[in-house]
Amino acid sequence: MTYKRKLSFIFFLFLICFFNGESMQAANDDGNLGQEIQRILEQSPGLAGALTGISIRSAETGEMIYERGSQTRLRPASNLKLLTAAAALETLGEDHTFQTELYIKGVQVGQVLQGNVYLKGKGDPTLLEKDFDELAASLKQRQVKFVHGDLIGDDSWYDDVRYSQDLVWGDEQEYYGAAVSALTASPNEDYDTGTIIVELAPGEKAGKRATVKLEPETDHVKVINKTKTVSADANNKIEIERSHGTQVITVTGTIPEDAGVTKEWISVEDPTEYALSLFEKSMKKHGIKVLGKRKKGKTPVGADMIATHQSMPLSQLLIPFMKLSNNSHAEVLVKEMGKEAEGEGSWKDGLKVARNQLKSMGLDMQTIMMRDGSGISQVNMIPANEITKLLYAIQEKTWFPAYLNALPIAGNENRMVGGTLRKRMKGTLAAGNVRAKTGTISGTSSLSGYVTTKRGEKIIFSIILNNFVEEKGITAIQDKIAVMLAEQENLLGSGH
């Protein structure tokens, strides 16, 4: 080969690399989209030294419109819930419900049950105190006033592994790091499963301890109150901590005498025992006394089922799950997938099922690391392109309307509509338009979903930012890009 031919060949290879590389971003003909995104990124000092993955494609055709670092595996944070929700809907169906069952084993003599009462959980993450009241009422209807035996909680529907494999020890007391059990409870209709609300108010006057209440009230946890009410002009410095591996919640610090009520969600160490404590409390409300112990065990063969409680369907559960980004719901769904498809309610089996379902939807699971269902693991990794690929593919699914309905809507103040986007993009064309999942963990922020342009063109986007040091202004970068997409006049019509 002559010297000139060698040069021509090298130049040809260079052209191939250039036009296929990420330096050549797919965009509309005049390059306005790519230039605008580049300008937004360049004017964001918080991204210095960080990693950026952006994938934008047509929702109608799946055709790529713009990409930057879209093939790089990045930590998705709670954007991983987009995968979990899709896999759960495909595996379980949008009508899937969780059942809680009440059994007795023994002989009733008059108002005395000579035997045990069994409360069997099958994963319901939405059980409230009133639901335990309804179950207890079924015992009252049988004229039972004394249980001459034990109250036993059966959580064997899932395995006994309470935390996903990469959960940080320090997160175990936080509401977003709550232990997972087949028998559990939530404090209110946000359904933060396996948590309790600690409510603080100032004491009667300065010098007195603060008033501490639990919601719901339960004897499952012990509260140590080391607080002090101080004058109105003093600082509010309250700390609430649960000692690791215990049920002891310690409240310390000062609270001004004119301060309002402070609430904090704290996870419980043993959600099964927590649920049992609430059920025993409900039994007492109905005049039923347990003479034996409260403990865990399996429901024996031959026990009589006397009542059941059925959860809302999965299509409705998706709303608090996705709108409020509920980690516990994600992990319950993983275990439920394992139970449904593999007969074992574990992370191992559930994640296996999820991966298989996602692969069937066209995702390249060889480039995805999925270690849990919630995205809390710092080991999870996915390219932005795989997220937009999923969001394109699932539009043909019968359950897609339920999925889309569960995504937060930008700028809508209603928590169960706007969710984690309720205060973002307000007063822009993206408000009431962008439907997307947020994601945030240390050094990670993500936003992926759908937007309709000014002309009515439907767009899918995924923006994943990793390894930034300063969090201030990071979500604003995502918002600017999403708003810019909403403002496009003719994004798809010009060709690219």
- Residues that are catalytic: 78, 81, 325
The answer to whether the beta carbons of residues 303 and 105 sit under 8 Å apart is yes
Opening angle at CA 13, ends 8 and 19, nearest 5: 125
> Using an 8 Å Cβ cutoff, are 25 and 56 in contact?
no
Query: In 3D, which of 363, 451, 311, 399 has the Cα closest to residue 91?
Result: 399
Angle of helix 327-342 relative to helix 81-92, nearest 10 degrees? 40
CA distance 150 to 293: 5
- Please tell me the number of Cα atoms within 13 Å of 43 on its side-chain side: 11
Answer for the pair 345, 335: CB distance below 8 angstroms, yes or no: yes
Placement of tokens 């999965």 in the chain = 314
Distance between CA 171 and CA 194 in Å, rounded? 13
Task: Decide: 98 and 311 in contact? Cβ < 8 Å.
Answer: yes
DSSP 134-179: HHHHHHHHTT--EESS-EEEE-TTS-S--S-TT--GGGTTBGGG--
Exposed, middle or buried: residue 252 (CB in 10 Å: 0-12, 13-18, 19+)? middle
Dihedral angle sign, alpha carbons of residues 119, 320, 52, 397: positive
**3-state DSSP assignment of residue 476:** helix
